[in-house]
Amino acid sequence: MTQPLPNTPRAKVVLITGAAKRLGRHMALHLAQEGWDVAVHYGRSATDAQATVADLQACAPKGRFRAWSADLSQADQARQLVADVIGEWGQLDALVNCASLFELDTAATVDTASFDAHLRTNTLAPIVLAQGLYEHVKRANSRGVVVNLLDQKLYNLNPDFLSYTLSKAALECANTMLAQAMAPHLRVVGVAPGLTLTSHMLDDEAFKALHQLSPLGQSSNPQDIAQAVSFAISNPAITGTTLIVDGGQHLMPQVQDFSLMKP
């Protein structure tokens, strides 16, 4: 009589917010290559999200990959995002909060709308998403992990991007409190990049010069951040702390944000 084949363990599932492009995309590709199924969240970048899903499928043909849309400034949509992923795939093991709002304001220009928008997207949404994962793993009596993308700015303060910085500072505090409240079912870890990718506020020459402005002669690159996130997810003894991955940029105080500096 033929013996039945043993059940093949299912790959673990990670939800990455803002995974359609930039750092989120790099993390998605890295984790897919390590065997993770990836739920690709996007806000408005539907075309980029579908391209990322196609690239994930190409690099890991046996994996499961799909794009989900949600406006993370709306707590109910953040909550539903977790429910939808679990509802379709039956599990969720890790959450990477990468999506964030990054708009310029200062102590002189901050207003209610700017402050509220940053707090909703950068602080409240990651907490709501973590709640959803916690409830799921607690019901299943299993373990999960949340990785929150922070910023070396928190350890090298300057007054630019006031609402953004305050929202990330609050998220860093949430790392500690969520790690305390949700143990042992959930670990919560921060990863704080330095200047990693350029933006519309920096030309290529300026980015190259500022990227080298660190004790190690270069700041972080996308692969550095993806590897740090993978390490935070996979190491079962890390919780309630932050990995600063910035080439030491936080050790060199700057009076302005990098995006406003002229090298």
Q: When comparing pLDDT for 1 and 165, which is higher?
A: 165
Task: Give the mean pLDDT of 119-129.
Answer: 98
Per-residue pLDDT band for 6 (boundaries 50, 70, 90) equals: very low
pLDDT of res. 256: 84
Distance set, CA 88 to CA 10, 66, 130 (Å) = 14, 10, 18
Q: What is the pTM of this model?
A: 0.94
Q: Which of 9-18, 135-144, 215-224, 242-251 has the lowest mean pLDDT?
A: 9-18
How do beta strands 37-42 and 65-69 pair?
parallel
| Domains parsed from the chain with CATH numbers | 13-192+240-245 (3.40.50.720)
pLDDT of res. 9: 53
Answer yes or no: is pLDDT of 5 > 60: no
Distance in angstroms (rounded) separating the CA atoms of residues 32 and 14? 9
pLDDT of res. 203: 86
Answer yes or no: is pLDDT of 238 > 90: yes
Answer yes or no: is pLDDT of 1 > 80: no
Answer yes or no: is pLDDT of 63 > 90: yes
Strands annotated E in the chain: 13-16, 37-42, 65-69, 94-97, 144-149, 186-193, 241-245
pLDDT of res. 7: 41
Q: What angle do CA 240, 18, 105 make, to 5 degrees?
A: 80
Q: What is the mean pLDDT of the chain?
A: 94
pLDDT of res. 199: 82
pLDDT tens readout for residues 71-114: 999 999 999 999 999 999 999 999 999 999 999 999 999 999 99
The continuous run of DSSP H or E covering 12 comes out as none
Q: Would you give the DSSP letter of residue 199?
A: -
pLDDT tens readout for residues 105-118: 999 999 999 999 99
Q: Which residue has the tokens 């199924």?
A: 37
Task: Give the mean pLDDT of 229-247.
Answer: 98
